Structure 1
């Protein structure tokens, strides 16, 4: 059985490196990007199963990138990895199809 293909998006190199290191043993990390515009183009090119993205990427936010990809790459699941907890960010992620996985709902 093939391993799920993951595309990582974060503008902090240390976060990309750490996330890559955590995921690589069990997943096929097919690429890393540092901005939302590149996330969209690489997702269309690489066709990952899962995208792990920060929500506050430069050029195009992770939320806006997910919005663009929802119609053009609907099979890719998007996981938002962020330090933001403000309700506006949560609402925007939920509007793009995110699931609430906070400890109060597990």
Structure 2
């Protein structure tokens, strides 16, 4: 795991069962990470394509989110030394294990959004 999680803290006995859930939500939480992970669960994507696929995200925020996911071992960054440089993002093997979870979240969200129609 990346250094940003070093201070995450130990779980108390009372919440020991919830700790893995909290850690997972901490790593993948936020406004943009779920969207990034959903896109990457289907394909490898270059930075500008990823930015185009996520309306409203700034270049700075996308860079920050990708760096955090990379530091956590969820996303890998592949750089080809071409002119201009080609940078492509994809899920690591560990990150691919999130794909069924992301798919379940998408299904649940779809059902929730359509429950009052």
Q: Tell me the TM-score normalised to structure 2 length.
A: 0.25
Structure richer in strand, relative to its length: 1
Structure richer in helix, relative to its length: 2
User: Rg: which structure is higher?
Assistant: 2
Q: Tell me the TM-score normalised to structure 1 length.
A: 0.27
